[in-house]
Chains A and B, each alone.
Chain A
Amino acid sequence: MREMLKLFIAVVVFSCLSGGVLAAIQNATKERIEYQQLKFVKGPTIKDIMEGCSNDPLIDRLRIVDEAKEMHLFVGEFEGKRNTVAFETFGKGYGGVMGVIVGVNLDNDEIIGVGVTTHSETPGVGSKAKTDPDFTAQFKGLSLFDPFKVKADGGQIDALSGATISSRGVCGAVVEAGEIYKRLKPTIIEKMKEKQG
């Protein structure tokens, strides 16, 4: 019985020590990891959308709580005006969840760009949603409040050939982005003013 106790204590002490060490390291690296993930996963897409901006949208970002979920909004500065934001929403594709970043101009609610970040669509078919710039370019210049649908569903977006479900997924994500934008717009403008002032 005494021996059992000794073994038990040894393992417990070991596990506790290692847990403590790991918690400390996780805390220390958390910020950096978050930034790295932004830079390498969402970064390229955001850079594409915000092409020509004069700041770093990855650093210049707002955190706004939307329905108990924290959203990161990336701010882009064009010609000295901080008038665009980009944020990520999710749609349901053929292979699972697709992450879509939508950039929008705050002055006229026009979409400045759409890009897919993470997806598990079929390579070469649905994956074109990410790699084919012609597909996502269709959203450019439209109002974010429009109802987006693929042409097969009576909408305005040309679906990728053979990948209607993936195309629908992107449309769904953009529609959701519109809803979020509708809810958050007053908060966004307020926060932008705070930061500038």
Chain B
Amino acid sequence: MAKTAVQEFTKGLWAEIPPFRLVLGLCPVLAVTKTVENGIGMGVATTFVLICSNILISLLRNVIPKKVRIACFIVVIATFVTVVELVMQAFAYPLFLKLGIFIPLIVVNCIVLGRAEAFAAKNGVVASFADGLGMGVGFTLSLTALAIVREVLGNGTFYDIPVFGPSFEPFSFMVQAPGAFVCLGLMLCIMNMLGKK
């Protein structure tokens, strides 16, 4: 374990930023990035689950029998997701209504299970926490970036505040499903171009 906790954190921000470099967890990336508010909400919820599940799985990595580890991971993750769902209902109900089905679906987000299996099950608590935080922040940033492009172009607003004058004709293709794919593809392309240098 040559890497420090800081390195584990920063790799999630660029070198292994989840949706763009690992191309994982695309379902919520495409579905909830219609508005910046939804994107950030989803990102924060996923980050919370990632950090908690990474810490707990790292702590329990010697207790969990190898053969049933996936089942145990899923139980841990599902527990935290349900916690998020309940807390969000209690304190941010309008956001919960908008995100709807995508909150419970964090359970099957590849990033969360992927980090549990690939990282937390093999590393210490501090490193796992840093990994979860980095991945979560990276995921949130990606969702926000995508949501900004889509909301500004597709709806003419940023965080529900109009950015263009009333004469702006929204490019509504961007807030529909195909727009999400095109936008994600272009972003991947830019990331790869920058990464080559």
Whether B82 contacts A22 by the Cβ 8 Å rule is yes
Contact with B along A9-25 (1 / 0, CB 8 A): 01100110010011001
Instruction: Identify B68's interface contact among A10, A25, A37, CB under 8 A.
Output: A10
Q: A18-B76, A18-B79 are in contact. Are A36 and B68 (CB under 8 A)?
A: no
Q: A25-B86, A26-B86 are in contact. Are A32 and B76 (CB under 8 A)?
A: no
Whether A10 contacts B83 by the Cβ 8 Å rule is no
Whether A7 contacts B68 by the Cβ 8 Å rule is yes
How many angstroms from the CA of A31 to the CA of B53 in the assembled complex? 27
Is A33 interfacial (CB 8 A cutoff)?
yes
Q: A10-B68, A10-B72, A26-B86 are in contact. Are A36 and B93 (CB under 8 A)?
A: yes
Which residues between 54 and 102 of chain A lie within 8 Å of chain B, taking CB atoms? Answer: none
Whether A15 contacts B68 by the Cβ 8 Å rule is no
Instruction: Categorize the interface residue count of chain B.
Output: 20 to 34
Instruction: Identify B79's interface contact among A7, A21, A29, A40, CB under 8 A.
Output: A21
Closest to A10 in B: B65
Is A195 interfacial (CB 8 A cutoff)?
no
Whether B93 contacts A29 by the Cβ 8 Å rule is no
Is B71 interfacial (CB 8 A cutoff)?
yes
Whether B86 contacts A29 by the Cβ 8 Å rule is yes
Instruction: Identify A11's interface contact among B68, B79, B83, CB under 8 A.
Output: B68
Number of residues in A with C-beta < 8 Å to the partner? 18
Instruction: Identify B93's interface contact among A14, A18, A39, CB under 8 A.
Output: A39
How many angstroms from the CA of A6 to the CA of B82 in the assembled complex? 27
Whether B93 contacts A40 by the Cβ 8 Å rule is yes
* Shortest Cβ distance from residue A6 to the other chain B in the assembled complex, whole angstroms: 6
Whether A40 contacts B94 by the Cβ 8 Å rule is yes
Whether A11 contacts B71 by the Cβ 8 Å rule is yes
Whether A6 contacts B65 by the Cβ 8 Å rule is yes
Provide the residues of chain B in CB contact with A29, threshold 8 Å. Answer: 86-87, 89-90
How many angstroms from the CA of A7 to the CA of B78 in the assembled complex? 19
Closest to B68 in A: A7
Q: A36-B89, A36-B90, A40-B94 are in contact. Are A10 and B78 (CB under 8 A)?
A: no
Provide the residues of chain A in CB contact with B196, threshold 8 Å. Answer: none
Instruction: Identify B90's interface contact among A15, A18, A32, A40, CB under 8 A.
Output: A32
Which residues between 78 and 136 of chain B lie within 8 Å of chain A, taking CB atoms? Answer: 78-79, 82-83, 86-87, 89-91, 93-94, 97
Whether B97 contacts A11 by the Cβ 8 Å rule is no
Closest to A39 in B: B93
How many angstroms from the CA of A56 to the CA of B17 in the assembled complex? 48
Is B31 interfacial (CB 8 A cutoff)?
no
Q: Given contacts A10-B64, A14-B76, could you give 16 more A-B pairs where the C-beta distance is less than 8 Å?
A: A7-B65, A7-B67, A10-B63, A10-B65, A10-B68, A11-B75, A21-B83, A22-B79, A22-B83, A22-B86, A29-B89, A29-B90, A33-B86, A36-B89, A37-B89, A40-B97
Residue ranges of A at the interface with B (Cβ–Cβ < 8 Å): 6-7, 10-11, 14-15, 18, 21-22, 25-26, 29, 32-33, 36-37, 39-40
Write 17 A-B pairs (CB below 8 A) sorted by A numbering: A7-B65, A7-B68, A10-B63, A11-B75, A14-B71, A18-B75, A18-B76, A21-B79, A21-B83, A22-B86, A25-B83, A29-B86, A29-B89, A33-B86, A33-B93, A37-B93, A39-B93
